Amino acid sequence: MSFADLGLSPKLLEAISSAGYENPTPIQEQAIPPALEGRDVLGIAQTGTGKTASFTLPMIERLAKGRAKARMPRSLVLAPTRELAAQVSENFEKYGINHKLSMALLIGGVSFGDQDAKLTRGVDVLIATPGRLLDHFERGRLLLNGIEVMVVDEADRMLDMGFIPDIEKIFKLTPMTRQTLFFSATMPPEIQRITDQFLHNPVQVEVAKPATAAETITQRIVNVPSRDDKLKRAALRELLGHENVKNGIIFCNRKSTVDIVAKSLQKHGFNARPIHGDLAQAFRTETLDKFRNDEIQFLVASDVAARGLDIPAVSHVFNYDTPIHSDDYVHRIGRTGRAGRKGAAMMLVTPADGKYYDAILKTIGAKEIEALDFTKFFEENPVEDKRRRGKPDDKRKRPERSRSRRDERKSESTPDDEKPALESNKEEENVREARPPRRKSAAKKSSRRREGPSEPTVGLGDHVPAFMTREVAR
């Protein structure tokens, strides 16, 4: 089947041909026709299958007629990350080259002024992350009651990032007559609840089992005997040199780990650069552009780059950290082996990652993943246990108190027959010292009683004062 068989206009077919695409992917074959008919679509497909074009092409076709009003966009695309939102905007520019459609990109890290200026002129296509979209709406700069088509991309990633309450709020701000195109790689119960609530009799398109890895990806692991970070970084560098790597993405679970690993690779001569959510947007955009243009060989990333980013020529994916959520593993390795290309995915697994590794095997439906033989490497790089700097027998004992010179002279001058008596006296002294000391207040009171006067107190005793013996006048 060709794109012409899907019912697209000649202008769109020309743009698709100029982009170098000839035949649609399975998700595009099944999603584009009902979307052109105006029906809601629920698309479920693994990452790298062409979901972006599945909603971009029918949206351009529908928006070809009509005109946008100020602050009232005609269509809305919600994306979980800035990088994915920017990528969707690139697809609209590429496929809408023959259409005069205006577009605005609302993401963080960019000034509100430029975005407000575009909204004031009116846009046909609004691409945004949920947080920045609601910021503009609460400022009174945006109205959503003119939305004709609404798209939610990478919905399961929205769930992971905590955007579901924002998504529900945005849905309620749009008209009930809108067309909704909802795409996700997996369908957790929370996502299913949203689709049941906001989609109207959708056409469900499922071209692959949810959360499955593409067959074009070769998966392997390296069993690291310790979770020591220094050993893991050494194993990663060995792995990068072991494979014939054109370029690769190295995933870490934490942003702080991303910075550490990138700095370590740079120190050892690797062409690497970090990318995560705490970095400036200009730096992130520049890093992705350089990676796409082969100016950077290794991209050390958090899960901000795990979903939706379309970088077709990634040869390898390396999981420095085993993903905590098994679905993230599928999304991470989905950055390679795209569009029918061959790819390779490697993962470092420590003994502490056992339960995460078992969950990944269950998710991808595999009994095990082939392990690379790194025995010789780990023998040459023994684990340094930071908790024990020496053997248990080598623990430092507390030195005995040295006797004073006076004690030494006393012991030398004391005859041997008197030493036992001295020792017994010392034992008695030790017993006395072991007894708890009496409180000072009690000792003072008892001393006062002993030191009191020996003569009886005058008055109120045997002695009667003279004034008490006087006669009382009657």
Lowest mean pLDDT among 22-26, 116-120, 206-210, 397-401: 397-401
142 shares its domain with 260: no
89 shares its domain with 126: yes
Count how many domains the chain has.
Answer: 2
d(CA 442, CA 397): 41
Q: Among the three residues 380, 397, 417, which one is the final residue of a domain in this structure?
A: 380
CATH number of 130's domain = 3.40.50.300
- Examine the pLDDT at 469 and tell me if it is beyond 60: yes
Q: Is 251 helix (H, G, I), strand (E, B) or coil?
A: strand
Is residue 451 included in any domain, yes or no?
A: no
Give residue 410's pLDDT. 47
23 shares its domain with 50: yes
- Examine the pLDDT at 413 and tell me if it is beyond 60: no
Contact call for residues 294 and 245 (beta carbons, < 8 A):
no
Contact call for residues 144 and 164 (beta carbons, < 8 A):
no
Lowest mean pLDDT among 121-130, 168-177, 359-368, 454-463: 454-463
Give residue 243's pLDDT. 78
Highest mean pLDDT among 19-33, 298-312, 423-437, 459-473: 19-33
Give residue 59's pLDDT. 96
267 shares its domain with 202: no
Name the region of 389 (left: φ>0; alpha: ψ -120 to 50; beta: rest).
alpha
- Examine the pLDDT at 101 and tell me if it is beyond 90: yes
Q: Return the higher-pLDDT residue of 221 and 325.
A: 221
Give residue 467's pLDDT. 73
127 shares its domain with 253: no
Give residue 83's pLDDT. 86
Q: Among the three residues 141, 173, 206, which one is the final residue of a domain in this structure?
A: 206
pLDDT digits (tens, 9 = 90+) for 306-324: 665 667 789 999 999 999 9
Domain hosting residue 336, numbered range: 217-380
**String of b and e for 367-383 (b: at least 16 CB within 10 Å)?**
eebeeeebeebbeeeee
Q: Is 21 helix (H, G, I), strand (E, B) or coil?
A: coil
Q: Return the higher-pLDDT residue of 222 and 108.
A: 222
Give residue 316's pLDDT. 95
Mean pLDDT for the stretch of residues 76-88: 92
194 shares its domain with 243: no
Give residue 435's pLDDT. 53
Q: What percent of the chain has pLDDT over 90?
A: 56
Burial of residue 344 (number of CB atoms within 10 Å: 0-12, 13-18, 19+) = buried
Lowest mean pLDDT among 63-67, 185-189, 442-446: 442-446
- Examine the pLDDT at 285 and tell me if it is beyond 80: yes
188 shares its domain with 259: no
Give residue 282's pLDDT. 87
Contacts with 342 (C-beta within 8 Å, 6 or more apart), sequence order: 216, 218
Give residue 462's pLDDT. 65
**String of b and e for 99-127 (b: at least 16 CB within 10 Å)?**
bebbbbbbbeeeeeeebbebbeebbbbbb
pLDDT digits (tens, 9 = 90+) for 337-395: 876 788 999 999 999 999 999 999 998 888 899 999 999 999 998 876 555 444 444 44
Mean pLDDT for the stretch of residues 137-154: 94
Q: Return the higher-pLDDT residue of 305 and 36.
A: 36
Mean pLDDT for the stretch of residues 440-460: 50
Residue 376 half-sphere exposure toward CB, CA atoms < 13 A: 3
pLDDT digits (tens, 9 = 90+) for 256-284: 999 999 999 999 999 999 998 888 888 98
- Examine the pLDDT at 163 and tell me if it is beyond 80: yes
pLDDT range class, residue 175, cuts 50, 70, 90: very high
Contacts with 198 (C-beta within 8 Å, 6 or more apart), sequence order: 168, 171, 180
Chain-wide mean pLDDT for the chain?
A: 83
- Examine the pLDDT at 38 and tell me if it is beyond 90: yes
Is residue 402 included in any domain, yes or no?
A: no
Q: Among the three residues 335, 359, 380, which one is the final residue of a domain in this structure?
A: 380
Give residue 110's pLDDT. 85
pTM score, whole prediction: 0.67
Is residue 412 included in any domain, yes or no?
A: no
